[in-house]
Amino acid sequence: MIDLIIVIVVFSFIQSIFGIGLLLFGTPTLLLFGYSYSETLWILLPCSIVISLIQTINNYNLIRVKKKVIYFTIPTMTLGLIFIVSYGHMLDINKIVGFFLLFIGVTNFSSKLQVYLQSFIVKKLRLYYAFIGLVHGISNMGGAPLSILMSTIYVDKVKVRVNIAFVYLILALFQLAVLIMFDGSGLRHVSITLMLIALSVYLITNRHTYYRFNNERYIFFINILILIYAVLAFLK
């Protein structure tokens, strides 16, 4: 339990600052610890929902992506997750997660790739939403391409964070719905204690730390961490 508490505290803090982190880093961490993909989702998703729900409620008037998420992201996420839950035993989920982490890390360090993605977003926004859903369904790694999307659309970091939080919230709710239908026994992994810890970390961070952080100062560290996790996932 101590290992889970540390994971939730550290990555809830990162998510409270950047809008992503609990799923992006929590997923490969728990997989490296030996948890299955379904167990990982059952542990992390409720904690992510708590944080995303509070972030969404606090700035609901700033959310502009409601319909697009429902129409384009949820269907592909649902199909991707059903596929992984049904056939995950035949796949190496660590390699899948590692691949997407590597893609994310390389993209974050490549200005050319970022420009290409931003251009693609402008021209093919609906397709990009569908892409986010598929990535999130099969790997739980949709947060990074989602962050790129919101950073392209919005400049203000509060708008970026709340729109990411809303998408995360909707995705997580549908992920749990799929898990209940296909792996209902995993409910035993849901921990109210971990959810309360995640909420406490967010409330403390949001009150005392969030507005003091300069995202540019820490983005390099986050990218390095992503690449480290990618390597570890491939080596497992």
215-224, pLDDT tens digit by residue? 566 677 777 8
* Tokens of residue 36, six digits: 């299955």
Higher-scoring residue by pLDDT: 158, 198: 198
Q: Is the pLDDT of residue 226 over 90?
A: no
Q: What is the pLDDT of residues 59-99, one digit of tens each?
A: 888 877 777 788 889 999 999 999 998 887 777 888 888 88
Q: Which pLDDT belongs to residue 153?
A: 80
Q: How far apart are CA 221 and CA 2, in angstroms?
A: 25
Please, are residues 183 and 63 in contact by the beta-carbon 8 Å criterion? no
Q: Where are the beta strands (DSSP E) in the chain?
A: none
When mean pLDDT is compared across 6-15, 126-135, 158-167, 173-182, the lowest value belongs to 158-167
Which residue in 191, 175, 193, 173 sits closest to 183, CA to CA?
175
Radius of gyration of the chain (CA): 16
Q: What is the pLDDT of residues 102-154, one digit of tens each?
A: 888 888 788 888 888 888 888 888 899 999 999 999 989 888 888 888 878 87
